[in-house]
Amino acid sequence: MIIKSFETRKINLDSNKFILFHGDNEGLKNEKIKELIKNRNGISKYEEKEILDNQNNFIESILSGSLFENEKVIIIKRATDKIIKIIEELSAKNIEHLMIIISAESLNKKSKLRSFFEKEKKYVCVAFYPDNEQTLTKLAYNFLREKNVPTSSADINIITNKCNGDREALLNELKKIEYFSKNGKKITSENISKIINLRENHSISELIDYCLAKNKKKIISILNENNFSNDDCIMITRSFLIKAKKLLSLSTTFENNKNIDLTISSAKPPIFWKEKEITKQQIYKWKSKNIKKLIYELSETELQIKKNINNSINLITDFILSQSSSEANS
């Protein structure tokens, strides 16, 4: 059955065991998936290609119950019509403790996968369309109000405009502003422009880009030319985390299709033309397994910075230099 994206609270994994989320709004899809699996144990995530390459093992592990020693919810990313036969087979088995959430890009009306979920009354199909200025403004306003962060309408417009329609980027920037406010700093239009540095603070953005491209000479030059403050260090880790997660998605795609130009052109949201060349360098430098390790180490570094704020400059500098020197593909 079809459910609107604003009606997802109606979904109950215990009764709606098979769910399809499709559309170009990756940020909103990810939000809704997190809401659905909150407080759930035993979650397993797969790329469609992983399942197709090991189809028999995947189905046998479900039927034998081996998956359910630790897992009950299966999330399948980047799904297409290629997976429909597997879904139909699992549906016919009516396995009691099996719950599947499928995430796909926009599927047209001829899609077999979409048609299957729309026609089955016990299953759910939700389309997620791109955000517009109104929905992003509302998202920012509600977030800041809930967090008791005082901002004006003009401030909110600055924030939403800088994120170029990217919902996930907007949420990450809002979290930075929340962190800044919790530290007793007054939120003004001037420091908002500094906080949301993805588009404005070229030094921080370039520092991260060159780190991911492993260009140590450029990194040292940026570090020497900029007098980063302790407050900047959390912003750097947050911005780094956003870029690392995007690189993980690109790297996974490239490992599957082995086509760098297709990987770049199919990226969602689109990669700005000025960033395409350095993004290619980053993809070549990093394997997905190493990016996952990087994301973990970023989180650990941020924790250390929060505990040792007076030493934050040294902590972030050491981290960046170590990453630019390490062999990501070894």
Rounded average pLDDT per 10-residue block, the chain, 330 residues: 83 83 87 86 83 87 64 84 92 84 90 93 89 87 86 81 75 80 70 59 79 90 79 81 89 91 84 86 92 90 86 90 68
Do 124 and 163 sit in the same domain of this protein? no
Do 254 and 180 sit in the same domain of this protein? yes
**128, 148, 163 — which closes off a domain?**
128
Give the contacts of 168 (CB within 8 A, at least 6 positions apart).
26, 27, 30, 242
**128, 155, 175 — which closes off a domain?**
128
List the CATH number of the domain containing 67. 3.40.50.12060
CB 255 within 8 A of CB 298: no
Query: In one letter, which amino acid is 323?
Result: Q
**pLDDT on residue 199:** 42
Do 84 and 171 sit in the same domain of this protein? no
Residue with tokens 């003004």: 188
Do 71 and 105 sit in the same domain of this protein? yes
Do 312 and 163 sit in the same domain of this protein? yes
List the CATH number of the domain containing 232. 1.20.272.10
Domain housing 245:
134-325
pTM higher than 0.85: no
